[in-house]
Structure 1
Amino acid sequence: HVHPLVFNDGSSHESEEVYCCACGELVSGPRFSCVDCGFHLDKNYAEAPVEMNHLFHRKHNLKLMTSSPYVEGNPICGFCNNICEKFVYHCYCNLVFHIKCAFLSYKFLVKNFRELAHQDKPISSECHSQELKRVQCFACQKSFLESDYISHDSRFYLHKKCFELPLEISHSFHRYHSLFLQFNSDHLLCQICQETQHQGLVYCCSICKFVLHIECVSPPPIIEDLSTHEHPFTSIFHDHPISHKYFVVDNECTTHDCLNCHEEVNMACGSYNCSDCKFIIHVNCALQDARWYYKIKSKDDFDKLLNAMLEVGTMNPSFFVRKMIKVGEKMINIEIEHFSHQHNLVLSDEVKERRYCDGCSRLILTSFYGCLECDFFLHKSCAELPKKKQIWGLFHQDPFVLTPSCIFICAHCHQLSSGFAYKCEVYLCKDLVCVRCVEIPLSCMSGGHEHLLLLYLTYFGQCCNACDRSIDGDIVYRCKACNFNVHSACVNLLPQTTWHKSDRHCLILTYHEDNDYSQYHYCDVCEKERNLNTWFYHCPICDNSAHCSFVLRDNDLFLKRGSKIKESDHPHTLMFVEKDYDYPECHECGDRCMDLALECLDAECKYIIHWKCSTSFQLLQNGIINNVALTIN
């Protein structure tokens, strides 16, 4: 307008009716007016943006115009299908809206229209069947008979079900891009019914010129319908919800590998992926076992699940701090009370002698907590384990509970272990997991290979590059480019340093044979030739080498020497020992006790027995019991 406009809050009681020059309707509220020529604008339209970014028309912005954009004739509004004679929003795609219709559709889009739905409650079509024969739903352009609807100003009608339509969907007929709810400005044919809908909304991919009518799109999968795959769920090793889609928005790459099998995902077949990160997995890989995931019915359910999982890890401490000191900006717990031991434990960094952790039974080489009154030691990391923990790798959806002081067979690595175990408390479940197996990384670096190794939950391939044993449906870490494969047990269980009765020094895990002379390629334990391409243990002082299999072979690597148990067929407490010399005879089989044995603590008893000859070992191996309690004193 050429003249200045003056604001009027509409509170005066003027008898003269004032009409808005933008929409042509009576103005009853705040407005801007020209005192010279009787020009009036509703406040909302006076403040209207010159350009509108309307998500029902994503290709271009709509521009505000004060009159028809065409030289001859007035255009038809793409919203209400009536003639446009006042202010319009226009796009050169031949899309024109009354200014009021543009605002109304935008409110619907950003869900401010919910206020409108609150004011104008859904109406049953049975009450106004004759009137409804003359009108159509703004979105789908279908009648309202036998369907609830929402009305506004007697010019805007919308099915209740159309009001709840998602703005974006993925569809099996168009798997490469999302379909967005749009005005059909190009008047494209529906790819299902092959008809054109000129008014209302359609689901459209503007990149491919692909259109589906609302009525032709199959009803979107109901999130509670667990028979479909279109619901989000949290998957093994991944704590965000993942949903089924036929495309992934990622500008960095054009191909995607499944994080389970690490093969390329054909996006035309769909996949499960995470909108928060780059997690993507084949449908078959995601759903191959129902115990690998939670089905999420709603975001509220996911939030509750996430909070519960966080609570499992943070609200169940296994220790209480008794003394702390400040080192720089960091507080250090120097004395704790741990639930597994009757005395307080003190932090130490001095590893003066060979000690083994009472939690994981591994050699202590770093900071640890120790008891000043008895021989009880815990790695700092083992002492800080939570009392409850979610363990995905064993197909369990309930948290495991930390159990101290027992001997058991780990349900994951199948190694006999002593110390801490995470126990499943679901009725009839006997699974116990050693603390070494509670974290299963999706990838790892190993000293035996220069590239990143990826986790495969089930793999059939050649022999393991670490132990030289076959890989037959095992959990492995693999470098696909180099065809380098190692059992997860070899990566996670083989200690960097260990002891063996064949050598008085510490043996070091060695990945490559640097000496080409043939005499260095033999195992000094079994005196058989070693494979040059596999790992081995080596003593650099004595120049002795041994197969890795000898470390894990006896299945007692993680039974702490010095631990004590009670046997039903012996009256005294027995202690785990491994004799370095003077091998006594086993009271059960008569052979010399050269391996792990149980020795009576009563000096006058002289009772000793192979661990494998004991009743407890037989019961564990045969699955009759799932753990043996250790004796504290």
Structure 2
Amino acid sequence: MGESKLILNEAEPVVGKDVECVMCTEPINKLIDAFYRCNTSLINGSPSTNCAGFFMHKTCSELPLTFTHPMYPEQPLSLRERPSKKQLFCSCRVCEGLFQGFMYAFDNYDICHVCLKCVKFELRPLEYRFRWHPGHNHPLTLVESPALFQCHACNTTATDLSYICTTCCFYIHKSCADAPVTYQSKFHNQHPLILNYSLPREHRAFVWFCGVCGKYINRSHWVYYCANCRFFAHVKCASSTEMSRASDNDEADSGESNLMHLPAHDETSLNKMMQQCIMTKATDALLHKSAEPSPYINHWGHEHQLALRNKSAKPSTLDLNRTSEDTELLICDGCTKPIFLADDVFYECNSCNFFLHRSCAQFPRSIEHPLKGNLVGNKFNEYNIFKCRGCYIISDGIVMWNETACFDIGCASLPKKIKHEAHRHTLNQFECPDDNYCRACICETVGEKEAIMYGCEKCGFYIHTLCALRPRLVKHRWDPHPLYLILFPQNVADHPHEYDCEYCSRQIDPSGWFYHCSTCDLSFDINCLDPFVWVSNMKFGATNIHGDSKSHQHGLTLVPNKKKRRCQICGRDAFGLPVLECSPCNYIVHAYCVGKCYTSQNRYFGS
């Protein structure tokens, strides 16, 4: 060992690079480990040539010179140096691992080599090797040889030391067994996380996902959680330093910094964002891009000539019949979204109540959809309606369709890729995958194979197009304050009780999205915020409609049905659907029962 004196450095920082123990060749943590260094290795501040770099763990220095191992009881083993410096590694006869440095061996080196780690394990007291852990009912035995197995605590297969149960088939990593009962995670710094050895029973009514990696939380595995904020994390994820691996975040490498970022701030911002998508699709299809719009156009969706209008234009004959409210807001017959006269340039028909945004007027009749191929546009009269396969909302605007799908021009214009705050990766358009569900509304996608979703295939994260377009902030007549879109339950801090929907009175699944007002503690399920959202893309008010069937003697009016009433033709409930109504006669029929539904057998009006 040398004749120089050794100095004990306990938790004392030592200037210099990381060092290794000369006996076990394992690194020495100079801030934590107790270790010895040679007294003569520093002379007047400069290292000597003989003892420079001589460091030794205190535990290694206390090893006995001889030791009788249970596997070799016939004679004691002696502490020795490696027989040859040319031999880089020796193989331990106990753990079969390769090691460097000192060893225990018989006088004949070739017979037996035992590494210092195995000897240290045998020398430790029994209370260290056998342990009662609150996460298991039986005593656990420490196996200090690294092994590859699936841990019952963290469900990973990393190679590590382990505790095993000799009574039942139970294995956990030593690092999991040593996990603290409470932990302050960088991903949830409002409250300390509490370790639980399975998903708490009071939270098992819903499916939960890790707040760090976003993957499913298995109820039988250990979990860190904050009950007040509904934050859950896998045992390994809670202590990780990064939300995801750098190679796992593809946004920086995608080269698409101009992706559509969602959610939009509010409904007005969303409408403008959708108009931008429509304009982008229109300009991409135009061969000759004109800076100034034409004052008059003939549009393929309408039989009359359309004139350009804006807020500074002279009033037309239609202005004489408009109310003050009409002059502030019109409905586009293309995308069925509002036209704000204060800042929009639009086209109108001087003969009838027909209006188009400038972008909708320039939208081409034929486009190429990323998933559905070529789509052709058409516009019928007021009572011909369809269900968009993008957002699943019923509409009577311009339809882009082929034999397999139909879209409103807003959904037909959506980009193939978007970026949403709910997921760290870019989301791509997919046809509804089998055996999956929307992570926003927690609804299964079975039976919606023609529909389009946005998702991340590598993470199994999918959301409906309608859910992806939900704005961050909405107003509701039941609350004087704006409601905020809650993407993660931990966004509402210190909320110990359950979330109940004000509309349906059912408990909200906090693993999905919902709207919430923290001031009033008011919550809405994402699908209950507006029960008539499914007809929000309809332009109602058309009158004197008779349809294909002369089933009623009077002209009918296109209205949303907000009462429990049955169709006079098919007998089915008409609540929440567009209907043709005769108020004096108390007569209603489904609009698609007398009109031209945009496909055979009315299949676009299924669930």
Q: Specify the TM-score bucket, using the shorter chain as the normaliser.
A: 0.3 to 0.5
Relative contact order: is structure 1 or structure 2 higher (C-alpha 8 Å, sep ≥ 6)?
Answer: 2
Normalized against structure 1, the TM-score is what? 0.38
